[in-house]
Amino acid sequence: MKNILVIGSTGQIGSELTMKLRREYPGGTIVAGYIPGAEPKGELAASGPAEIVDITDAARIAELVDKYKIDTIYNLAALLSAVAEAKPQLAWKIGVGGLYNCLEVSREKGCALFTPSSIGSFGPGTPHDHTPQDTIQRPKTIYGITKVTGEMLSDYYADRFGVDARSVRFPGLISYVAPPGGGTTDYAVDIYYSAVKGEEFKCPLKPGTYMDMMYMPDALRAAIEIMEADPEKLKHRNSFNIASMSFDPEIIYNKIKEYVPDFKMSYDLDPLRQKIADSWPDSLDDTCAREEWGWKPEYDLDSMTRDMLENLHKKIL
């Protein structure tokens, strides 16, 4: 049995992860934590408890941990990379201050803790192709700086206090349930919406901009499998490279065109997102995740595209 608090349960990852956790642990209590204005709706609201929790309020996190006898916290609160550049102070407060609160509550109350890191934790000095697990991490964005700080702080709490903190470096995540909002990789979600609505897609990144991407079902599985992994086998903790596909705007556009032949794309570059994307890896090497806890993606670009188009048709048409 597991009792889990998901902080940020109504975001792009949280809205699907909370439901998957409820299916995976039917005897447990999975609490959907949200901030006012982002209330859970529909099945998410109906299928289990929901509580207001602001990650900057440590006392509230501790109160909920006591109330529901929580043993695991999924910390999904973050400002994504592009929006974080507009609000760097808030990005630090949520990304690092919020993580510190989760780590302290986990230390005091014996919780395990999952916090996503990102391909954004790397920077221009990192090898861009097959980026190794252990390499240079000198990001230029506030988002990346909070992620590297978070990785180091989580490892510190694991080594110093025995907190079972674990993490994966998520690529751009593609999904049809809840939109991402504010990331550099969001174009790879938006392009599917344009294709299904029959609209021309204006791509904010130039051809040749490669980044790692992943379909949400694989990302959700990774978030659960890393927390279930045998600790004896983990040489790393915070955070594991995971990968499934890498493409540039032309590759995803041409893949969608195989299914939507009339689909049109033009370029309308966003200099901020382009600069961020150029500083990130083109493709990650996820050998350590494969060897230490058996990570393996199921979706590639073709199977993801078929599933995205089918589900978006049902959702918006």
Residues that bind ligand AKB (CB under 6 A): 80-81, 118-120, 143, 170, 172, 180, 183-185
Shortest separation between residue 185's beta carbon and ligand AKB, angstroms: 4
Q: Which is nearer to ligand AKB, 89 or 232 (CB)?
A: 89
Q: Which residue's CB is nearer to ligand AKB, number 106 or number 121?
A: 121
Q: Which candidate, 126, 11, 105, places its Cα nearest to that of 61? A: 105
d(CA 136, CA 6): 31
Burial class (CB in 10 A: 0-12, 13-18, 19+), 208: exposed
CB-CB contact of 144 with 92 (8 Å): no
Minimum CB distance to ligand AKB smaller for 8 or for 120: 120
Sheet of 168-170, strand order: 117-118, 168-170, 240-241
Q: Which residue is nearest to ligand AKB (CB)?
A: 183
> What's the min distance (Å) between Cβ of 206 and ligand AKB?
16
Chain center to CA of 243: 12
Question: Which residues lie below 8 Å from residue 66, measured CB to CB, with a gap of 6+?
Answer: 109
143 carries an active-site annotation: yes
Shortest separation between residue 83's beta carbon and ligand AKB, angstroms: 8
Selected catalytic residue, list 34, 68, 100, 143: 143
In terms of Cα–Cα distance, which of 90, 95, 133, 136 is closest to 8?
A: 95
Distances (CA, A) of 138 to 104, 241, 280, 285: 26, 16, 11, 18
CB of 311 to ligand AKB, least distance (A): 19
C-alpha 258: how far from chain center = 28
Nearer to ligand AKB, 163 or 168 (CB): 168
- Partners of 3 in the beta sheet? 29
Given the complex with ligand AKB, which of 33 and 172 has the nearer CB atom? 172
Strands (DSSP E) found in the chain = 3-7, 29-34, 50-52, 72-75, 112-114, 117-118, 165-166, 168-170, 172-174, 201-203, 211-215, 240-241, 245-247, 265-267
Looking at the Cβ atoms of 64 and 226, the one nearer to ligand AKB is: 226
> Cα separation of 62 and 101, whole Å?
9
Catalytic residue IDs: 143
